[in-house]
Amino acid sequence: MPQTILVVEDEQHINEVVTEYMKDAGHIVLSYDNGGMALQALKQISAIDLFILDIMLPGISGLELLRAIREAEAHKAKPVIMLTALGDEATQLLSFSELADDYVVKPFSPKVLVKRVETLLRRCGGEKKLLRYGNITLDYDRYETYDSGERISLTLREFELLGVLMTHAGKVLNRQQLLNQAWGYDYFGDERIVDVHIKNLRKKLVSDIIATVKGVGYKLGGGA
């Protein structure tokens, strides 16, 4: 089963590289370029298996995020890798004193970073079986969906689409992004198929959490 990794990096190129390498390794990736947005995500999503944090971030710093992770009941035992340009001894020692599990200095090898991630995940044990957002739970072992304790019957495509929205909670995704992740990059059909599945999801879910951002796409965080 894939495991969920939250990446917080404000340099777009590095964020994209880390995200793609982690996806290629079979993981689900939540990607943010702002510390404040990442903080909101970790408050809402409990099923995060590992964190990769830059230190110098807009919003709040990576060290502040690390402290928040260690204070959160759902995340305090999860592995955290600091990925930063700050290679000085004092910052590294401070990170480890705040209970970071690993410290990677830029520039770095994405392949080696993947190996470090896999090592920490093995050490912590277990694979992600559940993905949660608010009252909604996706069970990837059984491909079952629960909303407010009630089982909801979804098609496979609806399940996958909801999973993509949940792993990017708070971020607006356009139709092509949703197609790429839920259907695969070889999908060449009409983008409007996304609208049909979103409409069906809204009818089935008890929670009103899927918002339409007119002219852009969809996100989790309130219905529309």
Domains of the chain: 4-124 (3.40.50.2300), 131-220 (1.10.10.10)
Prediction pTM value:
0.59
Assign 1 a pLDDT band (cuts: 50, 70, 90). low
> Residue written as tokens 């197609």?
179
Q: Is the pLDDT of residue 127 over 60?
A: no
Q: Is the pLDDT of residue 120 over 50?
A: yes
Contact criterion met (CB below 8 Å) for 83 and 54:
yes
pLDDT of residue 211: 94
Can you tell me the distance from the alpha carbon of 30 to that of 169, in angstroms, rounded to the nearest whole number?
8
Contact criterion met (CB below 8 Å) for 5 and 118:
no
Can you tell me the distance from the alpha carbon of 30 to that of 19, in angstroms, rounded to the nearest whole number?
8
pLDDT of residue 61: 95
Average pLDDT, the chain: 87
pLDDT of residue 44: 86
Can you tell me the distance from the alpha carbon of 153 to that of 205, in angstroms, rounded to the nearest whole number?
9
Can you tell me the distance from the alpha carbon of 127 to that of 139, in angstroms, rounded to the nearest whole number?
12
Helix-, strand-, coil-residue percentages of the chain, each rounded to 5:
40, 20, 40
Strand segments (E) across the chain: 4-8, 28-32, 50-53, 80-84, 102-105, 130-133, 136-139, 144-147, 150-152, 173-174, 210-213, 217-220
Helices (H), the chain: 12-24, 35-44, 62-71, 89-97, 110-124, 156-167, 175-182, 193-204
Residues 6+ positions from 11 with CB-CB distance below 8 Å: 54
What does the pLDDT look like over 139-184, one tens digit per residue? Answer: 877 778 999 889 998 887 788 899 999 988 888 999 988 887 777 6
